[in-house]
Structure 1
Amino acid sequence: MGVMEVVASYFHIFCPEGVNSKYRLIVFDDTKEAFIPLTEYYHDQVNRISESSVIAYLNTLEPFFYWLKHKSHYQAKKVQWDDDPEAVKEAVRQYLIDQMHCKIRGREGHEGIYLTSKSSKTVQLFLAAIKGFYKTMIRLKKYSHANPLLDMDFKDSVTEQPGERSNRPRMPQAAGTEEPLSFRKQTDSYFKVINEEWVPEIIGDWDLPYRIYQAGDTNGWRLLDEVITRFMFETGARISEILELTAGDYRKRSDLHELAATNKGSYKRRIKFIRISPETLKLLIKYVNSERRHSANVQVKFNDLPDSEPLFISSRGTPYSYSAFYSNWSKITKYAGIKLNPHKARHWSQCCVGFMNSRIQPPK
């Protein structure tokens, strides 16, 4: 996949402790002046979706706003973010073509995006982010036009779709009496990705975990699945070995970030250990003290769990099964646009850890 040509000269920082400010995070432009539109966007969105998702959106929007300021052009002038919808659409179109290496074809009421072999992997993320940005600006009364990233003919095109009953309007989706329309027909975006397909993934892809985490955050996954997924990518352990972990396995190790674990052919004996990051340990404790506690028969916190208690349980309080995890995993990987089973995630970890241990730097 191609690499974007512009360097993000817009950036964000969190407000240091002890500094009095109404903003927890501030976005700055390339002159190090506060850029309030993206700053306000962050604070509006962080109350609606997870902070990691908002940060991902900021990371893809910051290079766009830098490009907008220096490289955009419409009717012989630079485009401002608060210009009329046609100017903004033209700027986004140019950015998709010039910087994200997409091909665009006009269609009735919207424009179709065709991904190429050089297209950035963040096309979908950028489109979601920029559409959300204008929704926020309109909601905060900072943008006085219609959202330039919405298909204004969308509602009419949906209601014109014939229903199952002849000569009758289509029933609403909530009724459940008619087959739902395909995703592409339902999306209200002005720019629609047309040729989105499964793409074979290289198992050494360095941003693979981030893409899975981002898809999980966007889909509102449970802490249970997030923690297990982090265990897979960080430890290289088999999914069966992770699902069998108990509270006692954590206490058997003197290192705070290690757990005793079974191995293939060990007949349930703990003959090896696995290591997790401090961030994953915090998430594990948070999961046990909140989500797990609500489902468990024994209502205790992490430090009081009996040694024999499994760390991961279902909403019914039973040990979390592979089939239950795989069902949720499949939804997340499909949303991320990746074909990947849990076993291959284990090999990703082994590949990348070995690569780092060899002191070879990953490709830029």
Structure 2
Amino acid sequence: MDTVTIDLTRETPLRESTLKVMRAALRDFYLVMREAGLYAFANPLSSEILIAFKREQERTLANKGAPDHAGVRGETHEQSRRRPTAFLRQRQPQQWKPEVRKELADVREGICKVIDSMLDSTKVSVREKAVLHLLQSTGARLHEIVLMTVGGYQNEGIVGQAQVINKGSYGREVKTIYFAGNPHVQEALNAYLEQVRPLHDPQKRRRLADVDPKAPLFLTERGTPYSPKAFYWHWYRHYASLQNKCPVRFSPHDLRHLFVTEYLIRLKMKCGLGTEHFDAETYLSEREAFGSQIMNWRSAWTIDIYDQSRNAEAIFSTLAEYQRDLSQRHHVVQPDLAMNHSQVQCIPSVIPQAGPELGPETTVVWALDAETLDWIKSMEQQAQKSMER
């Protein structure tokens, strides 16, 4: 195709994000110059071939005027928008996926233990506890919480909800977070707003009604707006002594992934997971609604990535069971399903209780299927006949 791909190396003086911004700025500069009649040539940052190819594909797209939720359009509007037209292109990284190790039950439990310890600690400030409660109960991003405004929190008087600045919303408070179901969240917010914020407010105002709606809800001790960088400083100061409670290291952003994972587990159980009456239709519809209304994802397919990681958890669980069997010298061979079950010797699938340690002279009993046993028996008979001769 009519493009040039840029590969970054260790010697590249600019970050990948910086190059993307520079390319976009230059592309828009030439676009404006051409529209104003001040540049008579083709846009050097766009490929005329790719532009024509994109227009032709959109022209022939099935049901191109339909919205995404109708499910009849040939591709989503986001996929159409992302069709490349740039002449200079950077190699795209692989699609993001949740880290499967952090999806396992022991890690999820460890994350909850660390957060619970922080919330119970007298060394963690009231402000940080309020932020942690919101992160844990809403699945919001860190910057959405710490940059919340007074007006966004007041939310026109609707309790248990708040308006925050979503990723890619250009500073507009267009995303709603919900926390009415957990009373500890509101208790933590009330404690901060009544006990701490008035001390840091430059004008010592105690009522939010007297504060400008555009003012930040969370303040530093100097009265300046709180920031993700400031929260991380406090986070790592308290996290260092608690990280041994979790098998792997994690960050505040992992609370967002935990929120989605735990919700999907509960939704599957609600729909009858593990029974003969699993309601797949209800699961898929509620899962999609969760992604669009609670997480506010623009793409309806983002939730699929998390569901695939849930399938990967089963793989790791089976692997762990197998490795535990190896440590206890238990081995199993898959039986021939065509054989009668009474003819097959098989090791139970459950892990036996730990017994006495095996000594060097201990005999290890191998469980074999019926076909292998018949083969061994025939070999023994042949050996016996040869000895009789």
Q: Would you call these one fold, judging by a TM-score over 0.5?
A: no
TM-score of the two chains, using structure 2 as the length reference: 0.39
TM-score of the two chains, using structure 1 as the length reference: 0.41
* Structure of larger gyration radius: 2
Q: Which structure's residues are more often helix, by fraction?
A: 2
